[in-house]
Copies of this chain bind each other. A is one copy, B any other.
Amino acid sequence: MKTKQEIIPLDFEKPLIALSKQISELEEKTLKNGDSKIVGDLKNQYEKVKGQIYKNLSPIERIKIARHPQRPYPLDYIQAISQTWYELHGDRTGKDDGAIVGGLIEIDGQTVMVIGTQKGRDIKENQKRNFGMPSPEGYRKALRFFYHAEKFNFPIVTFIDTPGAYPGLEAEAHNQSHAIAMNLRELAGLTVPVIAVVTGEGGSGGALALSVANRVLMLENSVYSVISAEGCAAILWRTKDKASEAASALKITAQDLYELGVIDEIIPEVEGGAHYDHKQACENVLNSIKNHLRELKELSPEELKTDRQEKFRRMGAFSSI
């Protein structure tokens, strides 16, 4: 994603494409005719439509942005926010899961262990990255990085963009459940700062396994959910066509989750989504991480651990007679 690419439009953006095309055509004509009033009107209309579309994005539209193939992926953020980047590899027991990346970067002169799920940009890379769906070995690779960070007192920053943990034969045979459960438990016990950033799709347990953090941040158009909208619709509405309804009911947007008290901050994106401006997205993410790191630096190791445990201890809604 280094060269400037043309942005692939999403379906709900089509009115804008049409308008934009109309404007271009008219502008060409008006250069000859000298009449620019209509162009001006169209441009105003464009801005109005744009505002309507982007200010009122529905949850299912957010999902589409979150899954946009040109959206910045964890490795894009990692490489943009630090000059230093030493990727580390492997679970030490038989696999280097490409769906999980991790290594060392520097933020504010401090060494940081960074871990992310990673999708591929093309078929070949997706073979390696398994479309961002980690295997148990990937979670164990991440666990190894957690322990490394704990040993050397490195803060941990995770980037999450995954449809979920891989549901496969080998993944079950190698105990996907245990791999995820161990990460939940061990993240809860760390004495270093942990910050999780949901950058795209936060897919259920597969996302949570990297997100038991002191601070959980979400990009404005990212989503985070217990089940995919399609999966939920198929089960509860008995048809995948109701994904939009399910997306709304599940409360999966950054705004929803912020209001539910599950996340700590919404990181803004440019209008239309982070894929329109990678640089701005990376800058916003870096600034947010820096702020949280500075705040967490004030806590002692024991306080960091307690803070994280108490944060998740409070999660839930119930009544008690």
**Contact surface of A with B, Cβ cutoff 8 Å:** 92-94, 136, 140, 173-175, 178-179
Contacts and interface: CB of A to CB of B under 8 A. Distances in A.
Given A93-B93, A93-B140, 10 more contacts: A92-B175, A92-B178, A93-B136, A93-B174, A93-B175, A93-B178, A93-B179, A94-B173, A94-B174, A94-B175
Contacts of A94: 173-175
A39 B175 CA distance: 68
Contacts of A140: 93
A92 B94 CA distance: 15
Contacts of A175: 92-94
A231 B174 CA distance: 35
Contacts of A136: 93
Contacts of A92: 175, 178
Nearest to A94: B174
Nearest to A179: B93
12 contacts: A92-B175, A92-B178, A93-B93, A93-B136, A93-B140, A93-B174, A93-B175, A93-B178, A93-B179, A94-B173, A94-B174, A94-B175
A1 B92 CA distance: 39
Nearest to A140: B93
Contacts of A179: 93
Q: Which of A92, A93, A136, A178 has the most CB of B within 10 A?
A: A93
A94 B94 CA distance: 12
A181 to B, nearest CB: 10
A136 B178 CA distance: 19
Contacts of A173: 94
Contacts of A93: 93, 136, 140, 174-175, 178-179
Contacts of A174: 93-94
- Please indicate which of the listed interface residues A94, A175, A179 has the most CB atoms of chain B within 10 Å of its own CB: A94
Nearest to A178: B92
Contacts of A178: 92-93
A188 to B, nearest CB: 17
A175 to B, nearest CB: 5
- Cβ-closest 5 pairs across A and B: A94-B174, A92-B178, A93-B175, A94-B173, A93-B174
A174 B90 CA distance: 11
A136 B94 CA distance: 10
A175 B179 CA distance: 19
A247 B140 CA distance: 43
A175 B89 CA distance: 14
A173 B173 CA distance: 17
A226 B232 CA distance: 59
A142 B172 CA distance: 22
A140 B174 CA distance: 14
A150 B106 CA distance: 37
A295 to B, nearest CB: 34
